[in-house]
A and B are shown apart, each in its own frame.
Chain A
Amino acid sequence: MKILLVPLITLLSLQSFALVKISGRVVESGGDAIPGVNVFLADTYDGASTNANGYFEFETQERGKRILTARFVGYKEFVQEIEIQNENFEFTIKLIETINELQAVTITAGAFTASDVARRTVFRALDIATTAGATADIAGALNTLPGTQKVGESGRLFVRGGDGNETRTFIDGLVVLDAYKPSAPNTPSRGRFLPFMFKGTSFSTGGYSAEFGQALSSALVLDSKDKGELTRTDFGILSVGGDVGHTQVWEHGSVGGKIQYTNLRPYVGLINQEVDWEDAPVSLEVGAAFRQEVGTHGLFKFYGNFNHSNFSLYQHSIDDYDQKTRYDLTNKYHYLNGFYKTSLNTNWSAQGGISFTSIDEKTFLGDNLIGELQKGLHIKTVVQGSLTDHVELKSGVEIISRTYDQKFSDDAAPNLYSFDEIVSAGFVEADLYTSNRFVVRAGVRLEHVNLTRRFSIDPRLSLAYKLGVDGQISIAYGKFRQSAKDEFIKVDPLLDAEKASHYIINYQYVKGKRTFRVETYYKSYSDLVKYPDDDHITLTNEGTGAAKGLELFWRDNGSINRLDYWISYSYLDTKRNYLDFPYEVTPTFASKHNASIVAKYFVRKIKSQLGVTYSFTSGRPYNDPNTKTFNQLRTPYYADLSFNWSYLPTTSVIVYFSCTNVLGRDNIFGYEYSRVPSADGSFNGRPIRQPAPRFLFLGIFITLSKDKSVNQLPSL
């Protein structure tokens, strides 16, 4: 017994006290040492950090099978099972870089991403609110970026020789049928959606993902905020109305709502207007958002927007000012969007959404009523995740259905234009990273349109290569299509989609708080809708066109303390032969040179943020029927200097003042001509001007919350 016992005790004590040395070196795939790596036996105290040369060494009493782990920020965790007996171990551990959003190369061709979360963005959500001249309108702020052309009488986003209709807005991946509020003819419209609702904005001027279809020139992708952060109540007293909003936050969800009433009548009464208003625009808007986290991985979002607006004005005849027609418009808009996102496991996630839009617009032209009713339904499911560390896959299916009905009251027979279009589509797209320096994104999009019974396949391809720590180059190519405008499909539902091909090269340099970008592109159009002069019934897809250009962007918010500014310039050369054009010519909305300078400066002494924006647009083409040429004349250049001032007397109150076109320049957007010649055979014409030289806005915003240091600056 004695004999048995002694070795047993010896063994036990040996196990407790003999030490085994584990040592080695940690390197990255290139062979360079990584200092600071945590190398240890899982679930024990035993381990060490690597020194400046990547070496580590530690001792352990553990025996048997153990897990050796090496862990460091930015690298994939290394794990290996080892069997510890009495011999020492020596290892060389190779850590593989994780492809992470911070260091990895990103595709920047055509894309401007604004996000509160990502760090390397050139444009931020807050920028939208604080850009002078934009009056907190998303399109207005994006109009200071390269790739856009200022079309003052429209207010919409015109991108790279495309018209405003070619830019489509998506909320949480779901298309928005009409992203702009109604406006009187030749007056700028505003976006329906307030910037503060979104955590991220991605504005692409070409070459975008296969996920987005039915957009010919540009995709504006808005990601709505997740759960609200703070319980708060907001009041706004505006020179043109008022609003009240409340957000209630609980542990796993939030609900928020906002009601805004705007009435331009008193303002229009005070400041002389180009437009002969009978009743200036009045609008009531209600927005509501509900967020609920489901379990640990799911998130449900609901968003609804209801808007009712009305105005009436007198349109004066070009030939005889005293001859006028009353124009009265009422627009009722409903938008509902439900979205659910869940992670399937650590690598894969799924999301699905459904959106419903209804637009009911009634326009009286004199006594004639035109009624337009549009309904849209969009259903979409997307699955995305990582196949391996270096391959990310995204795939989805969607159905975009819309119905359109138009009625005229003056026809004897109920003349009814209508169509029901169903676009069914599927897409798949893969991001292949060979390292943190190089990525290829290849995608393909399939579409079927019920009206034409046509299938289509559109390829998309982009790649990006990081030249060094700060610079990178991207290239993008893609085919894009979009159904013809409602006004054409209602006449000829068999019209094929309009098509475009984009070719883009981009160089971006980001160092600290300075960004420089240069981008050049070529875009060709085909199958544009065309009709013979004055014949709006015989429609074909024979239109063609092309656009090419060069764009520059510089942003710096690091050189001068508290000063943030950016400069953008776009050169555009575009021609198309579509609609009733007799030959290939530059359309009226396209201008050759566009430039913007935006500056924001915080002055502590007066507790204010001051902002200035200067925009310049070279003359736009217009067509004078008195000449033999088409679209050959040019308007004077457009220039605007806008100013805004946010004053924060206390932390929960903001006084906001803005003024557009401070210098009062009489900008002319184009000329319109009478359809019939006057007695001497010439056509009378008149310029299209700004509704008023300046737009002044004053608002006081008050926020009530438990925490007094919150105000509405982020949402302004």
Chain B
Amino acid sequence: MKTRTIILIASVLLIYTSNALGNDNQYAEAMAKNIQTVYRSESIGELQSAVNALERIASAEKTKWEPYYYAAFGNIMIAHREQDGTKKDAFLDQAIANIGNAKKIAPKESEIIALEGFVHIIRITVNPETRGQQYSGLAMQTLGRALSLNPENPRALALIAQTQYGTAQFLGSPTTEACATNASALEKFATFKSENPLAPKWGNRMAEEIASSCK
């Protein structure tokens, strides 16, 4: 009788633990799959599905900032591919909403702030003549804050380089400063390490592209 009760409790526990373990695996797997999509996909439809999936994960995993982060990254990728300025802005608004949710969970996470800077940079592309000044200023300020939270964040540096490069090109001034920032971003990419298996890994290629036009 006693043993049976123990078996009962044990089996119930087992079922629940395996469920809990399953949840963690489910999280890691679902994240891995959708992160791949937002990194690689060039189709707006695929990106939207991945963003939707990431938003669902976010609604279930209330203590994790990464699902919101990658959902926002996916929004930015859609905005980047979208041609219509009004729609571009609508997707960037979505990105900002997801970034806001991520910031509530991890207010001091440098990567989230850097992504916010990325949104400002994409805003410029809607109309560089009228938006360049305002949003490049905002981007630089936001990226500066990301860098102060983590001076080793290569993405913050690469995006600063991107903004400097864009401004210099727009004004026809020398790109020396942008190239120097970019070089140090490349160094940080080589040494970047994070204990978080889901830490962002993007940005290296963007920095390499700038580096090649710097030569």
Contact = CB atoms under 8 A, between A and B. Distances in A.
Interface of A: 1-2, 5, 8-9, 12-13, 16, 35-38, 40, 42-49, 52, 71, 73-74, 102-103, 116, 119-120, 124, 126, 229-230, 513, 557, 562, 564, 602, 604-605, 607, 648, 650-651, 706-711, 713-714
Contacts of A605: 172
Interface string B18-31: 01000000100010
A668 to B, nearest CB: 37
B12 A12 contact: yes
A654 to B, nearest CB: 11
Contacts of A513: 127
B133 A711 contact: yes
Interface in B53-98: 53, 55-57, 59-60, 62, 85-86, 89-91, 94
Interface of A is mostly: loop
Given A102-B89, A602-B129, A229 B8 contact: no
Interface residues of B, number: 48
Given A35-B45, A44-B56, A126-B130, A607 B8 contact: no
Contact of A707 (B90, B134, B144): B144
A711 B52 CA distance: 40
Contact of B56 (A8, A40, A707, A711): A40
A63 to B, nearest CB: 13
Contacts of A44: 56, 59-60
A230 B137 CA distance: 8
A42 B133 contact: no
B144 A607 contact: no
A124 B4 contact: no
Nearest to B50: A49
B72 to A, nearest CB: 14
Given A40-B56, A52-B45, A229 B173 contact: no
Given A44-B60, A602-B129, A709-B164, A9 B11 contact: yes
B136 interface: yes
Contact of A713 (B94, B133, B172): B133
B52 A47 contact: yes
A45 B56 contact: yes
B150 interface: no
A124 B130 contact: yes
Given A124-B130, A707-B140, 5 more contacts: A40-B59, A43-B59, A49-B52, A564-B129, A709-B140
Contacts of A43: 59-60, 62
Nearest to A705: B137
Interface string B110-126: 00000000000000001
A509 to B, nearest CB: 16
A36 B177 CA distance: 42
A602 B171 CA distance: 9
Given A16-B19, A73-B94, A713-B133, A607 B172 contact: yes
B137 A119 contact: no
Contacts of B12: 12
A557 B59 CA distance: 43
A562 B129 contact: yes
B66 to A, nearest CB: 14
B15 interface: yes
B129 A36 contact: no
6 contacts: A44-B56, A119-B86, A119-B89, A708-B177, A709-B140, A711-B133
A709 B136 CA distance: 8
B60 A36 contact: no
Interface in B152-186: 163-164, 167-168, 170-173, 177
A468 to B, nearest CB: 15
B137 A710 contact: yes
Given A562-B129, A711-B133, A38 B56 contact: yes
A8 B8 contact: yes
Nearest to A558: B127
